[in-house]
Amino acid sequence: MMKLRANSVYTTLKISSLLLIFGLLFSPIAQSQRPEKAFGIGFQAGNPTGLALQFFKDHGVSTDILIAYDLNNFVFLNVHALWNYHLDQSNLWHLFYGPGAFVGFRDRDFSDQRYDQFEAGVSGNFGVNYIIGHLELFGQLTPRLTLTPGTSLHMGGGIGLRFYI
């Protein structure tokens, strides 16, 4: 009996959340554009997965910050300077790109010893986003060139969303 109620409450919460999201996306209030200078906070899923922040400027360079992990005991900070270009007359679709850098720490366990490895390098960020009011949906590719402790090239990226205040 208790399990049935928990499932019912969970289902009600899921349906309510979906209705709220659709209501916000398609209401006239939600169609207003994000402010010219705004702070966005959200989430990126992919490689890596983490907290996606942005200091957005409509004219000029925006700052994109990703605080992430890759499920392999690797935590890092990736910062990019981004240029945004409108792809349509309604200013809903944008192209963005820019250079950046990253630092990270990787924990490795070998036998009974633990090794911490520091990594740093340069990166780029290329993607598209769709703006619905104060909500941004984005997809991006992030090539990273690790410079220390050795040189290696990796491709990252993901999809995500941010809410601007």
Model confidence pLDDT, tens digit, residues 68-124 = 876 667 888 999 999 999 898 888 999 999 999 999 988 766 556 566 788 999 999
Residue 45 predicted with pLDDT over 90: yes
The residue with greater pLDDT, 66 or 27, is 66
Residue 64 predicted with pLDDT over 90: yes
pLDDT class of 19 with cuts at 50, 70, 90: very low
What per-residue string of b and e applies to 43-59 under the rule 16 or more CB within 10 Å gives b? ebebebbbebbbebeee
pTM of the model: 0.74
Give, for 38, the enclosing helix (H) or strand (E).
strand 37-47
d(CA 9, CA 136): 29
Average pLDDT, the chain: 82
Measure the N-to-C terminal CA separation of the chain; round to a whole number of Å: 43
Sign of the torsion formed by the C-alpha atoms of 75, 124, 34 and 21: negative
pLDDT at 75: 87
pLDDT class of 35 with cuts at 50, 70, 90: confident
